[in-house]
A = this chain, B = another copy of it.
Amino acid sequence: MAKELKELTKRADNYSQWYNDLVVKADLAEQSAVRGCMVIKPYGYAIWEKMQQQLDKMFKETGAQNAYFPLLIPKSFLSREAEHVKGFAKECAVVTHYRLKSSEDGRSVEVDPSARLDEELIIRPTSETIIWNTYKNWIHSWRDLPLMCNQWCNVMRWEMRTRPFLRTSEFLWQEGHTAHATREEAEEEAQQMLRVYAEFAEQWMAVPVLQGVKSETERFAGALDTYTIEAMMQDGKALQSGTSHFLGQNFAKSFDVTYLNKENKPEYVWATSWGVSTRLIGALIMTHSDDNGLVLPPRLAPIQVVIIPITKGIEQLQAISAKLSPIIASLRELGINVKYDDTDNKRPGFKFADYELKGVPVRLVMGGRDLEDNTIEVMRRDTLEKETVSLDGIVDYVKHLLDDMQKNIFDKARKYRDERVYECHDYDDFKERIKNGGFFLCHWDGTEETEAKIKEDTQATIRCVPFAYEQTEGIDMVSGKPSKHRVIIARSY
C-alpha cells in the first residue's frame, strides 16, 4: 500500500529526515528485526539489480571473473595483516557455536555449550584474508598472473549508528581482488577500476564524482594507497561512493603468496582490491531526489515509462488500450521498461503521486479527449514539466526524452556540485562556511595533526587529493606551514 505523499518531510525542513522518510515511502528498504540490518524491498532491489548488471559487464570487460569465497573467516586470518586487523576488529560479528538445543522447558532453543568452535569464525567484513589464503594455492608462476576475481556478496560490519543504504551492519557489495606480477601493473589496475567506478557513477547514476587519493589516515586498513570517488549530496556533504586499493605486497607477505618470475626466482605478488556497495543507492537517492520523492536516472530506473489511461467506462478503456498497445510494444522493443497501469482500484491522482514518489522518469496519460485528438500527455519527472504531444512519433519522442533526462539530471547535479567547490585559504572563514556544506579545496601540510584538528574543530575530513585540480604549492590554512597538496575537505556521510 502506497503511503500518502503529503507525509514526506521537506528537504529544507530536515534533510536527514527527508532521506529516511523517502527510503521507506518509496518502498526501497526498511529496518529489519535485526539491529542495524535492513530489508531491501523489491523496488529498491530492482535498482540494485540494474546497477549490478552494468557494473558486472564493465568488470568483465577489464578481464575480471566472478567467483565465490566463504562467508566465514577464521579469526587467526584477520591477525595476519597488522593494519587490517586494527581496522576491522572492533566491528566483527563472531560465530562461536554451531548448534542449538531445546531449552529445559522445551519452549525455546538455546546455544548448545558442547558445540563450541575450536577457533571462532568471523563473518567477513571484507575478504582479503580468506582470498589471499586461497590465492596462495592458485599462484605459482608468472603464467598464473594477473589473477582477477570479483565476488558479489554480503558483508557484515557491526555499526553502532546505522542509516539505510548509507551505513548498515550487513550490506551487499562486490569486492574485486586482483594479483599482479609488478607494482606498476597493480597500481594501474587500482586506478583503472577507479575510472570504471567514476564512469559508472557519472554515465549511469548521473552522479558527478571527484576522483582522488585518500590521505594515510583515511586509507583502507592494509592498503598502501586508497583511491576514491567522492560525490556531493544536496546538503553539501560528501559521500564516499567507491574505493579501489593498491595493497602493495602486504597481503602476499602475510599469506606467503609468491610466484616464480621469468628468471625462475620467487617474488611476492602485488595486490589490489576494489568495491562498491548498496551505499550507491543512498548516493542515487540523495543526489537527485526532491520534495515530491525519488528522481531516478532513466538508465537505472526499474520502470522507465508508466502509462496511465483515464477513462469513463470499459469501452473507452478498450479503445485506449488498443491504441496504446502497439506503442507499448515498440517501446519495449527498444529495451525500455514500460508499465501500463490500467488498474481500477486506485484514483488517477493517487497513481500520479505514487509514481512521482517512486521516481518513474516518464509518465504518459491518455484520456478520452486524447483518444479523439490522437494525442497523449507526457510528464517528465526531473522537471515535472507536462506537455501534450501527438501520438505520431511518440516512441521516438519518449526515447529521446529519456536520453535527454539522463543528461539533464547529470548536468543539474554537476552544476550544483561545481557551485559548491570553494577554494579557501583562511581557517576562520573555513570554519564558518563549512557549516553550510560544500567541498573545500585547501592546501594541506600533509600532517596527521592538522587533519585531526580540522576534524575536531569542524567534523570535516580530508576526502581526497583530487586528480582534477592542479597540485600547486602553497600554505596550510591551519598550521601556516608550507604545503605540497591541495585536498578536498568536507563533512561526509
Contact = CB atoms under 8 A, between A and B. Distances in A.
A72 B109 contact: no
Nearest to A96: B96
A224 interface: no
B149 A42 contact: yes
B154 A71 contact: yes
Interface string A89-103: 111111111111110
A64 to B, nearest CB: 9
A314 interface: no
Contacts of A464: none
Interface in A61-75: 65-75
Interface residues of A, number: 70
Given A33-B133, A75-B100, A98-B94, A66 B89 contact: no
- Give how many copies assemble into the complex: 2
A345 interface: yes
A398 interface: no
A108 interface: yes
B98 A95 contact: no
A1 B122 CA distance: 31
Contacts of A308: none
Nearest to A99: B90
A427 interface: no
A94 B100 CA distance: 8
A101 B86 CA distance: 9
Interface in A32-66: 32-34, 37-42, 45-46, 48-49, 65-66
8 contacts: A1-B140, A33-B74, A46-B65, A70-B170, A71-B156, A85-B100, A89-B101, A95-B123
Given A1-B144, A34-B72, 5 more contacts: A41-B67, A48-B68, A68-B172, A79-B108, A93-B97
Interface of A: 1, 30, 32-34, 37-42, 45-46, 48-49, 65-79, 85, 89-102, 107-111, 120-123, 130, 133-134, 137, 140-141, 143-144, 149, 153-154, 156, 158, 170, 172, 345
